[in-house]
Structure 1
């Protein structure tokens, strides 16, 4: 049997540092996806054709360049230079199929369970079907389907898993099928396939749809617990008074619930436990979010996290509540709509080196069983990270945070998007957070609606206790187009609403800051509403929303006095343009050899350990600095002189940099040793949005040896003011040493290109007058400095 179409490998150049990234390398050879205790071989048709391969795929795969966003819990998250597999249905007939076959594997009595983990992307109005099949022969295509999805699954990469147990046929194969739909908007993509021995880990997200409880154990028939969690839908249990679930906002959507027992009048608990989550040693915390209903004063829902060795629960883990909406039994039904799903957020901080897994528990405590209330859970999300903790804000880089599209009272939705909106003369080319086509924002697609159509984005409910003082809502908006309609913000309760900000019409092709103060009278939620204008040139976008205790306009840039008597603003300092005659405004910006001090860098004292400026030689560490100078200086994490308190890391911060251009590269020399693998993390943070952190390099000591080594870091185009930070993460092990030295920039790579009167042969003229090679046009790098070399790029340009 021969397939009618192909899986293709898409991506840019290979990524040097890979943790678990199967399709990140050139497809000139087959890939082996390594995992704990197993190897999965993907047959890719960029291999030389053979009878064995061609019985599964009739066409040779081609490499096509395309930006992609890999899995959310990876440390190469949102890297635009990765690979994935996809089926290209542009010229395919309906119901054609592409198949991807694993290498054979066998279960035994000692290893009777395996878990197949994968990420998939199914976005488009013509998407058909993706299947996962367990077969006992390589050419067996009629086996039962273990997992399937059909139709448009949204814009994001989605994670799932399939567990196989006690199937002792020899050998076994995982077979993945992708089917084409009835037109061209039906591509299906795969990434990060992995087979591991043992049970599947906890899912990052659980919405309880398709009858799945995502590995949670609902404790039943246990004398210690008087109640049980149950799975239902609003349609199946109308007596609960929950009109719709949170995931789908329909009566068909699923959620978990607990109700009281008025006949026995017994108080008590219901409890459930998650599957185990392997502790990520590179993460500082775990972020847990979920949506809950605590209706009519029945009781409340609480959460705990435990470390475990994989068999039994260990001690509980310290956690911090970020957002928690408590039930208030004193609030009457006519004061607040208590049917609203409410957003909850917690941060979990596992102690380093204690336990291998995390298990979550949710307890519903019934305190008033005689009341006809309900306790409900939906959309549980748990991710591990080492970025800054985001309180009450959202950059939309990974999800909508505590915001959601309303399902009632509007005609279309806000879309989470990156890059241009696809319509000419309207919408942004880049987001505000990162200032690049790879950054994400929300927008309304005016081409999809009619004049006057509304899209409403609503926050989670905010408690009345949080409204005793005036608050401030801050955000960035983009309203560009000849027919732009209206953007407005208002708060609403069950009984009333009030507009706190509104603007109409074309505001130009730029991101603009806005803020609005508010003082609602009771429990409320914020709503951001966009109203479509008269035609398709009326896209409206928002980004970087935040809640603040008070409204404060961004301060004006301070003056900078040059030695020649010229006065410039601080925004002209470290912008790669020499405004002072002696170039002093561009000194101490990123480059430093640390021989004469810190060179514009600062060690942050709100972390536990400082960076120290030391001179060679020392009792431990390198015999010379990175320039082989035995009297030279460098920076080292000082474990002997900690600050009073703080996170157990050391952070060195650069001066503020006001954007970099083109293919900007940073060279850093590092010296990293230690028996327990300390690490060095390099990232940048926009100075106007400290909640957003972009990691550009991670370095582990491993077996690299005790000597200075260089790493080249691609910064590329950064359009906003930012600071570079070097974070040393010690493990307090024997012979541990974390040092950096000799930070330099590739010559002229970070400065803007000069304007030219004309461009030479084989060059592309940028909109700003600069010239770049035609060879680097449409390569996902802003070489021009205004993104004009990355516009109007068709797939044919990328092959």
Structure 2
């Protein structure tokens, strides 16, 4: 990515030594790696300065009680860490039957509200649980967030946010885990960070401090979104100021037209949300007028399949901050939002800012006089999509607790419902018969689900004989069949790699 970031490594050596920085560039994917501003000092790295821990060099002062710092090379799950997305990357893993990971002493100042963000992996049965608590005194422990394996429909890293309220005494933050240690079970944490402001509402973001749990989806062959401020390198959109502050110092999210990735499109995906069934989504965007750039917004269900049609806008409006509003009324209980931009090199950058996601239908209000309005795109949008209301520049007041489920959670009830069928990554769930089929079988002209749900796709018929249908339509609805089972996830969601090396039992 083009994002600049601070790195740190805790070194331990009693012998004279040299430091070596080694970088690797993929010949097939042009790119640049640069380093600057080295600082070497005695003592431990300052956690307050960095406020993050990716576990790559050490535990950053976190106390691990029956947790361990490991890589995926030693265990089966998770397959990679979150930071580097590789088997050699480090993360914190809970050991059976469970343990506590406690924050460093005086990790932060509690005089003001802060936002704790982290990524977690949880897999297994009802035994696998993760609880985030705040401890002021030994007899005062408060639960801030709770997650269970039964709520994680697929095996992947999820992001979460927790508000740390202002108080007189600085509490310790504890990751309290329980796990059976059985095959297929895991409770892990990675990429802990601490923001200087309260968490925004789930899914919403001004990008002035970070990306608020929005992340680049797909692999590095796609163009990458990154936080930026001021004018762009190419200045192809004319963006000088962000939308939130109207300032050169304010940040926004940018998809650079000069990105040299193999594909000229990039997707940003939200954390898992439970704001439905009715949701109002808003953002502001800038694209160079009459360029070949486009921007689409889609909603994915818990198995990463597109729910309904994506809403797409093209560069027909003036090159200024423009409101895009999408309303959906029948979303599933858990969903994510995916924003996909498509550029043409040397044609137009794409900038977005002030994402606002709210439960309920959109309300009509006066439009922002400084923002133009794109034309409605009924051909590309669901019937409920429209563009009417500007989003306020300031974020609304945050809820007391923000979780990956977008609601406060408590300890589970003693009686648990039967777990639903969990499809593997790249599979599609036939709702009525409660079975899963490979995603590559969708829209192929053959009814694999008894109710024919796998063939209810309008754009699938547009694919040629030498193409297959990518159900998430990201990066595109139709892709070459040569990409099937090539060992690389070309269709976001992994459906192109779900039917490889084996024939399903119901086929043979």
TM above 0.5, yes or no, is yes
Match of 1:530 among 334, 341, 350: 341
CA distance in 1, matches of 2:113, 2:21: 32
Deviation of 1:200 (Å): 5.5
Deviation of 1:269 (Å): 2.4
Match of 2:359 among 549, 555, 559: 549
Deviations 1:347-402 (A, max 9, x none): 222532x4xx4322211113x555631111111112454x6854431111111111
Larger Rg: 1
CA distance in 2, matches of 1:341, 1:402: 12
In structure 2, the CA distance between the partners of 1:461 and 1:144, relative to structure 1 (3 Å rule), is same
Contact 1:427 1:481 in 2 (8 A): no
Q: Is residue 2:205 matched to residue 1:394? A: yes
CA distance in 1, matches of 2:304, 2:369: 47
Aligned to 1:346: 162
In structure 2, the CA distance between the partners of 1:328 and 1:478, relative to structure 1 (3 Å rule), is same
Match of 1:406 among 179, 194, 217: 217
Contact 1:208 1:254 in 2 (8 A): yes
**3-state SS of the aligned residue for 2:171?**
strand
In structure 2, the CA distance between the partners of 1:148 and 1:397, relative to structure 1 (3 Å rule), is farther
Match of 2:84 among 245, 248, 257: 248
Match of 2:288 among 464, 480, 483: 480
Unaligned runs of 5+ in 1: 1-120, 137-141, 153-183, 220-227, 261-267, 308-312, 558-569, 573-685, 694-799
Deviations 1:449-486 (A, max 9, x none): 479622011112235xx44x212222111111542322
Deviations 1:317-354 (A, max 9, x none): 65755xx654326x8xxxx4x212112221222532x4
Contact 2:242 2:353 in 1 (8 A): yes
CA distance in 2, matches of 1:554, 1:372: 49
Aligned to 1:690: 394
Alignment length (residue pairs) = 365
Contact 2:203 2:271 in 1 (8 A): no
Contact 2:63 2:103 in 1 (8 A): yes
**3-state SS of the aligned residue for 1:476?**
strand
Aligned to 2:37: 189
Q: Is residue 2:306 matched to residue 1:497? A: yes
- Aligned residue runs from structure 1 range 267-286, under 5 A: 268-277=97-106, 280=109, 283-286=111-114
Aligned to 1:176: none
In structure 2, the CA distance between the partners of 1:483 and 1:254, relative to structure 1 (3 Å rule), is same
Deviation of 1:151 (Å): 5.9
CA distance in 2, matches of 1:370, 1:131: 34
Aligned to 1:306: 135
Q: Is residue 2:190 matched to residue 1:378? A: yes
Deviation of 1:552 (Å): 2.5
In structure 2, the CA distance between the partners of 1:320 and 1:363, relative to structure 1 (3 Å rule), is closer
Q: Is residue 2:240 matched to residue 1:460? A: no
Aligned to 2:325: 515
Deviations 1:241-291 (A, max 9, x none): x2322112222222122355xxxxxxx42112221125536x322321111
CA distance in 2, matches of 1:476, 1:273: 40
The CA RMSD over aligned residues, in Å, is 4.1
Q: Whose relative contact order is higher, 1 or 2, with alpha carbons under 8 Å and at least 6 apart?
A: 2
Unaligned runs of 5+ in 2: 25-31, 371-389, 398-508
- Aligned residue runs from structure 1 range 578-597, under 5 A: none
- Aligned residue runs from structure 1 range 297-336, under 5 A: 297=125, 298-307=127-136, 314-316=138-140, 320-321=144-145, 326-328=148-150, 336=153
- Aligned residue runs from structure 1 range 38-57, under 5 A: none
Which one has a larger percent strand, Structure 1 or Structure 2? 1
Contact 1:303 1:360 in 2 (8 A): yes
CA distance in 1, matches of 2:104, 2:261: 46
Deviation of 1:405 (Å): 0.7
CA distance in 1, matches of 2:289, 2:220: 25
